[in-house]
Amino acid sequence: MEALQEQEAMENAQEQKTMEDPREQEVKNSDRSRETAGYQDKSLEEVLGEVEAIIQRMQRRDISLEESFALYQEGMEGLKVCNEKIDAVEKKLILLNEEPEE
């Protein structure tokens, strides 16, 4: 009976290890928003330049899979910021076009 309880306890502990801790997810999200915030202070052209540099680094033959994945994530964050900046400009243009002419 004790062996069965120990086995169940070990299985439960293993399941808890595989389940992601919500606090860890918060840290990951804050890290991601911090990366995005670094891009927010830059112009669209600067962010696009950084994304282009990331693409060039990813095309190297000596890049590891881990580094490639990290660069991919960084590039996607940059593109997300670019899209947000472009969307903001589009919204401003729509508002300007809707204003009545005097």
pLDDT at 100: 74
Q: How many CB atoms are located within 10 Å of the residue 38 CB? A: 14
pTM of this prediction exceeds 0.75: no
Angstrom distance (rounded) from CA 55 to CA 9: 47
* Most confident of the ranges 10-24, 26-40, 47-61: 47-61
Q: Write down the H helix ranges in the chain.
A: 2-18, 22-40, 44-58, 65-98
Contact yes or no for 36/77 (Cβ under 8 A): yes
Average pLDDT, the chain: 79
Which position has the higher pLDDT, 7 or 17?
7
Which position has the higher pLDDT, 99 or 45?
45
